Structure 1
Amino acid sequence: MKLELLSPVNRNRFIEDSKLFIYNTAYKICKRKLDWKNDDELSVALVAFNKACDSYNEEKGEFYSFAKVIIRNSLVDHFRKAKNNPYLAFESDEDEELQYIDIKNSLTQYQIESENKNRIEEISLLSIELAIYKLDFDVLANSSPSHKDTRDSLLNLAMSCIREETILRQIKEKKLLPVKEICLLTGTNRKFVEKWRRYILTLIIILSSEDYPYIKSYLNIKVGEKNA
């Protein structure tokens, strides 16, 4: 049965039965204990889970893996819009490997193929959009930082740009990174922004769009510690 066809009573029961899953998914991203009565993150995760119920079909793979994608993306969007912005970080290589093993063990071959198909479609779409900005994956491979602390700094720089409507509008209209304005907004050294401009621009393209839910999820963004 398609989840969107569940009666309101059955939908509510299904969501109630899935609250532990919703909590654990949010907890892994927020990296702190959460309270259903006091933390907006759980409200965001709950709404995202319901959204996953509405939009799910079998072509999108296993439901709970799909719901994780929707919850993670909704929380990242929440962090982007929040006034008190948390410091964001990418999962460590060890965390990514454990997560991959856990997901792989829980999926059937059909489900893995379905999710891979969705990712391939998004990568194809992203390739077309990157070309508009005179970027491609080969260039990005040679323009990506190897150190995690640098990647985390660039992630937060990109999120700051996305929050600033004037900068995001300039990027969308001119297809260029407004380096001077970004330096003024963030206080970042110009040489640093220039060095990583392709990487920053790519993060902005992905994170500011609704077209790349699986790619966003693949980035494995979480709340981090600035001095970690």
Structure 2
Amino acid sequence: MEKDFRIEDRNLFIEENMEFIYKTASFICKKRIDKNNDEEFSVAIEAFNKACETFSETKGNFFSYAKVVIRNSLIDFFKSSSKAPLLYFDGEESEREMHNSISLDKYDMELERRNRIDEINLYKKYLKEYDIDFFTLSKNSPSHKDTRDEVLNVATLCIKDTYIKKRLEENKRLPAKEIMKLTGKNRKFIEKWRRYLISLIIILANDEFMYLKSYLNIRKEE
């Protein structure tokens, strides 16, 4: 795979890989995409084009990278598609399924592993600013899927609110009153899942966490 794609070859390359784009989008959306009517397909094509623009040899295998970019673009689309999108974590999908059509050599696998480790280390630094570490986070994360999905949707609404995002970044604390007003959740809920909520906001609001965001396996409820 070349480091970059020449602009005159881009349209042909995208056209040749339409089936890959379609299968990836359908897999992520967990439904058969209508190429002519579903906006998700257009989002996936645009994401594939973005992958062509941003890919470099340091990112490993191109098609593995493109799948991550497509997934994250669809997650962003899900978040922005309505005022209160109903999102959920898909616990059934495995990473092996996500990469089942890609053959990675040891070099590509090592590059991806390094990129993921770099993101995890950066994520640790972000969490530390809020006095959160992985051990504390694991002890203060909801065990029930419905609760995790509920917090996910609260995080999504918070990300879309400029004032809440700014207050959180500046004060390193959740503005509970504003979040209560925005989401209808009570203070007890927000305080109980404070660390988990912050951890989701950090990942979902930062483009630096490409692999971590992809790993969340977020879907939009139909």
TM-score, normalised on structure 2?
0.92
Change in 2 beyond 3 A, CA 1:110/1:180: same
**Counterpart in the other structure of 1:51:** 50
Offset of residue 57 of structure 1: 1.5
Offset of residue 82 of structure 1: 2.2
Matching residue's letter, 1:4: D
**Counterpart in the other structure of 1:186:** 183
Offset of residue 174 of structure 1: 1.1
Task: Tell me if the contact between 2:64 and 2:99 (Cα under 8 Å) persists in the aligned partners.
Answer: no
**Counterpart in the other structure of 2:74:** 75
Task: Tell me if the contact between 2:3 and 2:57 (Cα under 8 Å) persists in the aligned partners.
Answer: no
**Counterpart in the other structure of 1:159:** 156
Which of these residues, 192, 203, 206, is aligned with residue 203 of structure 2? 206
**Counterpart in the other structure of 1:107:** 104
Change in 2 beyond 3 A, CA 1:114/1:139: same
Please tell me whether residue 215 in structure 1 is matched to residue 212 in structure 2: yes
State the Cα RMSD in Å.
1.9
Matching residue's letter, 1:179: A
**Counterpart in the other structure of 1:6:** 6
Which of these residues, 130, 133, 137, is aligned with residue 136 of structure 1? 133
Task: Tell me if the contact between 1:31 and 1:223 (Cα under 8 Å) persists in the aligned partners.
Answer: no
Q: Deviations over 1:10-50 (max 9, x none)?
A: 22111011111111221222223322332222111111101
Deviates more, 1:74-83 or 1:46-55: 74-83
State the identity as a percent: 50
Task: Tell me if the contact between 2:85 and 2:153 (Cα under 8 Å) persists in the aligned partners.
Answer: no
Offset of residue 101 of structure 1: 7.2
Q: Deviations over 1:175-210 (max 9, x none)?
A: 111122111111112211111110000100110011
Partners of 1:224 and 1:38 in 2: CA distance: 18
Unmatched 5+ stretches in structure 1: none
Partners of 1:181 and 1:118 in 2: CA distance: 36
TM-score, normalised on structure 1?
0.89
Which of these residues, 163, 168, 188, is aligned with residue 171 of structure 1? 168
Offset of residue 3 of structure 1: 5.2
Partners of 2:99 and 2:119 in 1: CA distance: 23
Q: Secondary structure at the match of 1:106?
A: coil
Partners of 2:90 and 2:96 in 1: CA distance: 11
Q: Secondary structure at the match of 2:219?
A: strand
